[in-house]
Structure 1
Amino acid sequence: MALKLPRTIRLDPSDTFVFPSAAELGEWAVTGTFLFFGADAATLSNKEQQVFRAGFLGIDSFGWSTLVVVAQATAAERAAAVDRLAEQLVARCGAPDMKTAHAAAEEEIAFAQSLCDHPLNTLIGLRRTMEGDGIRETFRTLHRRVTRLEPAGAFHLVEVQEEDTPEEEVDIFTLAAGQK
């Protein structure tokens, strides 16, 4: 069985507007829900509420992404993602030591990996809600409909030019192959 992990993806520049900080394109990602434990959703700013409702956490930048894509990973890439997340947990979240952080990072990566039980290039979205004393996560997958008249593929891309909008290109096949 192939090893798969979620990578951040940006189909448009909206993450750079709606989140306090957007994840870099192609980062390994986890849900990041642990950052909201004990938080009062009513006191979050508008952008923080958007992160709470729908953000995946990019491991390297600690920025947010609305969607992730199921991508193939090697065992070495998975191990590096665990190590990097552990470093971030110590540096940004106050984990007491690397041993504790590594155990937490391993758990987060394992959960993220469990979300990728789908074909490569499947997009995954997240919805978080506060329910009682806890946080509930629901996930949805996004697939393109295939008809007999149109060949199968991951996406049908349509180029749209808008003035004063930075142009951004996404090469989903390179991402899926594990290259940035």
Structure 2
Amino acid sequence: MDLKLPRTIRLDASDTFVYSRAAGPGEWAVTGTFLFFGADTATLSGKERQAFRAGFLGIDSFGWSTLVVVTDATAHDRAAAVDRLAEQLVVRCGAPDIETARVAAEEEIAFAQSLCDHPPNTLIGVNRTSEQAGIRESFRTLHRKASRLEPATAFRFVEIEGEDASTEKFDLLAFAGRQK
């Protein structure tokens, strides 16, 4: 069985500016949408709003990452991720006991695993919106347009695929200036 899970990735320092707590690179990740259930998402602002709209949750730090990368994993990696998330659900989210938390963690890891039906090293982004019926998530993949004739460069253009490839623009420099 081809087992793949999402890991947080940090391509630059922007996550440390846009989230109140940024996930470290290389953490196993879940969508983290459960942290917004019951919240009035219309009142979220700043870094909380950014986490709602575009963050994946790193299960070690409970910090946010804008992107995750599809990564090969072992059954042991998956079991450890379920155990760690279950611990976090008890400590950080008030789950009544580890058994209840493990059931919830298993569901979250299974959903995260379902997002990884792509080749390893594929980047995945999320866009969340609040609608009358609840929270809606759409996912997009980013991958390099490969060509053997393409010279090595520091920057490359990527194709964006997904339900809604258009996303709201965010001016990081303007945002960083307001934070001072």
TM-score by length of 2: 0.83
Deviation string 1:123-158 (CA, Å, 9 cap, x unpaired) is 00000000104000000000111235128xxx9545
Q: Distance in 2 between matches of 1:81 and 1:95?
A: 17
2:136 corresponding residue in structure 1:
136
- Aligned residue for 2:26, secondary structure, equals coil
Q: Distance in 1 between matches of 2:130 and 2:87?
A: 28
1:110 has 2:105 as partner: no
- Aligned residue for 1:143, secondary structure, equals strand
Amino acid at match of 2:70: V
Deviation string 1:60-109 (CA, Å, 9 cap, x unpaired) is 00000000000011101100000000000000001011110000000000
Counterparts of residues 1-12 of structure 1 (less than 5 Å): 1-12=1-12
1:166 corresponding residue in structure 2:
none
1:53 has 2:56 as partner: no
Amino acid at match of 1:88: Q
Q: Distance in 2 between matches of 1:4 and 1:58?
A: 16
Runs in 1 of length 4+ with deviation above 2 angstroms? Answer: 155-158
Amino acid at match of 2:47: K
1:80 has 2:97 as partner: no
1:177 corresponding residue in structure 2:
none
**CA 1:156 to 1:53, structure 2 compared with 1: closer, same or farther past 3 Å?**
farther
1:95 corresponding residue in structure 2:
95
Gaps of 5+ in 1: 159-180
Q: Distance in 2 between matches of 1:63 and 1:79?
A: 20
Gaps of 5+ in 2: 156-180
Q: Distance in 2 between matches of 1:103 and 1:28?
A: 17
**CA 1:156 to 1:2, structure 2 compared with 1: closer, same or farther past 3 Å?**
farther
Between the two structures, name the one with larger relative contact order (CA 8 Å, sep ≥ 6). Answer: 1
1:64 corresponding residue in structure 2:
64
**Paired-residue identity, %:** 78
Deviation string 1:102-123 (CA, Å, 9 cap, x unpaired) is 0000000000000000000000
**Structure 1 position 2, deviation (Å):** 1.6
**Structure 1 position 37, deviation (Å):** 0.3
**CA 1:145 to 1:14, structure 2 compared with 1: closer, same or farther past 3 Å?**
same
- Aligned residue for 2:130, secondary structure, equals strand
TM-score by length of 1: 0.83
Kindly tell me the number of residue pairs found equivalent between the two proteins: 155
Q: Distance in 2 between matches of 1:133 and 1:156?
A: 45
